[in-house]
Amino acid sequence: MANTLIFGGSGKVARHITRLLAAEGHNVYSIIRKPEQQDDVKSLGGKPILQSIEDSSVDDMVKTIKETKPSTIIWAAGAGGGSPDRTKAVDNEGAIRSMDATAKAGLTKRYIIISAVDVRDRENKPEPEWYNDGDRDRSNKVWNAIGPYMSAKLTADTSLVTQNSRRGLEYTIVRPGGLSQDPATGKVAAGKVHLNNMIPREDVAAFVVEVLKNDGTKGLAIDVVGGETPIRDAVAEVVRGKVDTFEGRY
């Protein structure tokens, strides 16, 4: 039976991932920080571990990884974009410590992080060539509204990619568009997508589970929004074309 460890296991996407993986027989270990969330995680089939990411050192995280022996580590945490300080502590520094801890623990290389579409170095790198006026407008609005959050994700994702000769992880960056609480559709658009389509969190979770199953996603950064392609086919198409939407933009 596979063990999976989720950082931020009480999150709305993470809870769907927990339910889906537990139904497939995974042991899902779930790092959460609030004791009152334990029963909920258990009811989804997860095994809660009380540990605050922002208060955990790399070695604290290594200890958890060694205790849970995961074959896959999933980063689904986030401070929610409200406080810039907490955003830096969780989405940037906490995520990077989880990458270092995965490498240092040495038990698994497989690391999947949930980031966001349009995370990129807007100052120094060219705009994605498939962007249209709607994408440009959306990008400006999001970066103006939650710039520190987007920058925190950029720093973490850049570390994941540029420091990988040191860490040696088999990573995938999943970059969803705006998230909704709508029920799953089982269909998405992935790869070089436009930014304005929302995606249900349940579909993001199913997409992450499919990424976990498809080894061809290792080393890729994949944008995903609402669409019409069944999730398995969408992942397979991205893998076939080796479509990486972060490359050249950090």
Q: Contact residues for ligand NAP (CB under 6 A)?
A: 8, 10-14, 31-34, 52-54, 76-80, 90, 114, 116, 176, 178-179, 201
Q: Whole-number minimum distance, CB 195 to ligand NAP, in Å?
A: 11
Cβ distance to ligand NAP smaller for residue 27 or 226 = 226
Cβ distance to ligand NAP smaller for residue 26 or 97 = 97
* 3-state DSSP of the chain: CCEEEEECCCCHHHHHHHHHHHHCCCEEEEEECCHHHHHHHHHCCEEEEECCHHHCCHHHHHHHHHHHCCCEEEECCCCCCCCHHHHHHHHHHHHHHHHHHHHHHCCCCEEEEECCCCCCCCCCCCCCCCCCHHHHHHHHHHHHHHHHHHHHHHHHHHHHHHCHHHHCCEEEEEEECCEECCCCCCEEEECCCCCCCCEEHHHHHHHHHHHHHCHHHCCCEEEEEECCEEHHHHHHHHHHHCCCCCCCCC
Cβ distance to ligand NAP smaller for residue 77 or 112 = 77
Cβ distance to ligand NAP smaller for residue 117 or 235 = 117
Q: Whole-number minimum distance, CB 165 to ligand NAP, in Å?
A: 25
Cβ distance to ligand NAP smaller for residue 21 or 165 = 21
Q: Whole-number minimum distance, CB 175 to ligand NAP, in Å?
A: 8
Q: Whole-number minimum distance, CB 26 to ligand NAP, in Å?
A: 18
> Nearest residue by C-beta to ligand NAP?
11
